[in-house]
Chains A and B, each alone.
Chain A
Amino acid sequence: MSGNGKETPPAGSVSGLQAALSRTLIFRSRKERYHFLFAPHSAGGLIIRTLARSVAAPLASTLKILEERGEKVFSGAMLVDEESRCLFCVSEAPEGFLSELASWAQRNVSEIPALIALADAGVAVSSAHLDSNEAVLALAPTELSIVREPDLWKDLLRADVAGTAAVLGVAWPGERLWYWLSDGADPPLLLQPVAIDPNHERMEHLIRQARGSVRSRGNTGTCLIIDAGNIQFRGPDLELAGLHSLAAWVRQHVAAHPALARLSGCEFLATSAGRVASVVADANAWSGIERPSVPGTLEESARVFAGLAGDAGCWFWLTGAGPDGPFLDLADLQGDPAGESFAPRSARNYRRFAGSFEDAISGILRLDANGQPVFVTHEPHVDHWPALMHQLAARAHDTQPAFAAFGRAVLIQYAGEQVARTLRATDGS
């Protein structure tokens, strides 16, 4: 794992193949030519390689293995047309190719978001010898008879209220989301995480659906959940009327899609020349729509801590580099005993709080028999922990009453399987 917590999957594994496919699709270019291999029922699914990298041989050996196994497999060349659509060229009549490709993409698009690039793909039969790089380079899209079936792709990514709510429901503070807001459209708000849609392709697919026949340009930009838990929209054309329309739409759908309540209390930041020109907010517009606490905020940590009882414990991640002093992230332990969710969350926290690489402490928090908090960590540098506890306990006076208990907390530092040291919050007073 690298310093920012990103892991590179092994090249030959399914996740490695998926990562390579995502990258190829995201960076596909009209100037490149590609070889492809598509086995709809194999774990690898679709493999696309640029000509320079494929040299045909690795794909040919994979093709041979799949054919020997009796798997259905298509292979040939791929081009990219002027509208960035993929065009697959095959040597023989591609019986069922597009429908197989569309249903495979549909099954895998949540795992491989970049598969949206396949939407409206075309297929063409070519008499050229497609194993040869020279023949593939000589292919001219204008001379090919291309078949497309747009209807096959209409369910690949749906623009609807549920989709918007799903993105909102799992967004974490600091994560950038593209947005598109348009009063007359259905739905009037579309969202996609920048991290899975860096070239805005998924958004464009959604916008085409939501606009329908209405030629609304809409307002676009990025938004994110801020440290306090509410959302800030940032863009050049944001106005109060849009915020009121958004609130009215949320009110209409929040019962069926509770994650929409995360929009309650959102702010519109009109930007110009790299600065915030004005901030628009209206608490009254959201009356009666209570925003739930958002994982990764102090509000949520206070809620998790207040709910601790008996044997229950929670993961913790603590830094003094928060926006207003220390920041403590607490998360469920029993549902995530291996830390599979909390480990990437910690990695995100290191990026979110720039100075945290110098002081963060992580581990498990539980209560002792007297209900006092006990922090357990493997972190070797913990001298600053008592001071952080004091600052957190001081927050009890203003916003987080549950944090008063941290003034009496204990930290147990392990080295390997041995207790190396015990610290008390009172040591820092």
Chain B
Amino acid sequence: MSGTAEMNAWIARVLGIEVLTAAAKTSSDAAAIDAGALNRLGLAAARLPPRPDRPGRSARTDALIGRVASLPPAPEPKDLLAQFGGLAPEFVLAVLEEPASTATALREGAELPRQDWMLEFGDRYSSLLRDLRDWRRLLADAQAARDAATTAADLGPGQGDLIEDYATARDSCLEARALVMTAVHSLATEFGQARQAST
């Protein structure tokens, strides 16, 4: 590298930025240089954001974890869902404004970063709501099948398919209910552990 002049020439050639030297500032072109232009001069590198003076914020994440710690244990599954629903806006704000960004590999036994554990709860809550929607839909199907089977029974014999449809719908519905209950209890247990870990 032969020095500033060569570097400036390179910047002008490669980046298309005219680099004015101190000499140019004292020439007749000096009037063309304004305070704002100074930021564009010298180095294209000045275009990059300056180094921040503090680490990334985590106030919202901290506040959310504090709130989780202060929640009473949910006595019923429906209370747990209401608790999660109530936390959702703060969760979304924390995720949007203070996104977890570490990329460190985790190994067996490692603790999840705090926001990653929060994301895991967010994900499981979404799965649970999906399971609930499935259950609600299957319940409606089963009720419709029961009504059809009942009506058919009133009409007389030869309606075996409708009875079978009802039995299938009922089984699916019970299966969906069991899935929801298992998911709720598992979520409640883990949420209790998270609450304990937060205090």
> A and B from one assembly?
yes
> Which A residues lie at the B interface, using CB under 8 A?
1, 3-6, 26-27, 173-176, 178, 194-195, 198-200, 203-204, 207, 215, 217, 220-222, 224-228, 232, 234-236, 269, 271-279, 311-313, 315, 317, 323, 333-334, 337-339, 342-343, 346-348, 350-357, 360, 362-364, 366, 368-369, 374, 376-379, 410, 412, 414-419
> Which B residues lie at the A interface, using CB under 8 A?
1-4, 7, 10, 13-16, 19-22, 38, 41-49, 51-57, 88-89, 91-92, 95-97, 99-112, 116-117, 119-120, 122-124, 126-127, 130-131, 134, 172, 179, 190, 193-194, 197
* Closest chain A CB from B13 CB (angstroms): 7
21 contacts between A and B (CB under 8 A): A3-B57, A4-B52, A194-B95, A198-B91, A198-B92, A226-B103, A232-B106, A271-B112, A323-B103, A346-B48, A348-B101, A351-B99, A352-B101, A353-B102, A354-B56, A357-B51, A362-B51, A374-B7, A376-B7, A417-B43, A418-B42
- What is the bound-complex CA distance between A378 and B110, given in angstroms? 39
The answer to whether A277 and B108 touch across the interface, beta carbons within 8 angstroms, is: yes
Q: Which residue of B lies closest to A315 (CB)?
A: B48
The answer to whether B56 and A4 touch across the interface, beta carbons within 8 angstroms, is: yes
Which residues of chain B have C-beta atoms less than 8 A from A369's C-beta? 1-2
Q: Which residue of B lies closest to A316 (CB)?
A: B45
Which residues of chain A have C-beta atoms less than 8 A from B105's C-beta? 226-228, 232, 323
The answer to whether A334 and B42 touch across the interface, beta carbons within 8 angstroms, is: no
Q: Which of A269, A352, A416 contacts B103 (CB 8 A)?
A: A352
* Closest chain B CB from A29 CB (angstroms): 8
Q: Which residue of B lies closest to A277 (CB)?
A: B108
The answer to whether B44 and A339 touch across the interface, beta carbons within 8 angstroms, is: yes
Q: Which residue of A lies closest to B172 (CB)?
A: A215
**Known: A368-B1, A418-B22. Contact between A204 and B130, CB under 8 A?**
yes
Which residues of chain B have C-beta atoms less than 8 A from A272's C-beta? 190
- What is the bound-complex CA distance between A410 and B100, given in angstroms? 34
- What is the bound-complex CA distance between A73 and B124, given in angstroms? 41
The answer to whether B55 and A178 touch across the interface, beta carbons within 8 angstroms, is: no
Which residues of chain A have C-beta atoms less than 8 A from B13's C-beta? 311
The answer to whether A417 and B102 touch across the interface, beta carbons within 8 angstroms, is: no
Question: 4 other contacts beyond A271-B120, A276-B106, A277-B108, with CB at 8 A cut-off?
Answer: A200-B123, A232-B105, A376-B7, A412-B1
- What is the bound-complex CA distance between A417 and B131, given in angstroms? 62
- What is the bound-complex CA distance between A26 and B103, given in angstroms? 27
**Known: A194-B99, A228-B105, A366-B10. Contact between A273 and B49, CB under 8 A?**
no
